[in-house]
């Protein structure tokens, strides 16, 4: 057998205050203008870096071959 307790849908005073404060904070945050990066001053981290050379495809090919050899060796060792 279960005990049923009647619950009213009304909020307590504390719940009303917390809800009002959260709504106020959300409204204040939505009114603030967000500072977004402008793409000029925020791009200082790129200074001193190099562009990708034309030999990048060679390094990618070597990496792919290396991974393929490791997979091949793993499969070969599992079959013995």
Which residues in 29-63 are b (16+ Cβ under 10 Å) and which e? eeeeeeeeeeeeeeeeeeeeeeeeeeeeeeeeeee
Domain boundaries, the chain: 56-80
pTM of the full structure: 0.40
| pLDDT per residue as tens digits for the range 6-49 | 655 677 888 889 999 999 998 888 777 666 666 666 677 777 88
Q: Tell me the two tokens of residue 28.
A: 């204040």
Whether the per-residue pLDDT at 63 is higher than 90: the answer is yes
Residue with tokens 């504390």: 14
Whether the per-residue pLDDT at 2 is higher than 60: the answer is no
Whether the per-residue pLDDT at 3 is higher than 90: the answer is no
């Amino acid at each position: 057998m279960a005990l049923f307790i009647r619950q009213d849908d009304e909020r307590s005073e504390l719940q009303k205050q917390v809800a009002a404060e959260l709504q106020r904070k959300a409204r204040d945050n939505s009114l603030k203008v967000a500072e977004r990066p402008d793409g000029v001053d925020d791009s200082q981290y790129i200074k001193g870096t190099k562009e990708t050379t034309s030999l990048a495809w060679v390094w990618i090919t070597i990496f792919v071959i290396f991974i393929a050899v490791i997979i091949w060796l793993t499969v070969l060792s599992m079959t013995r």
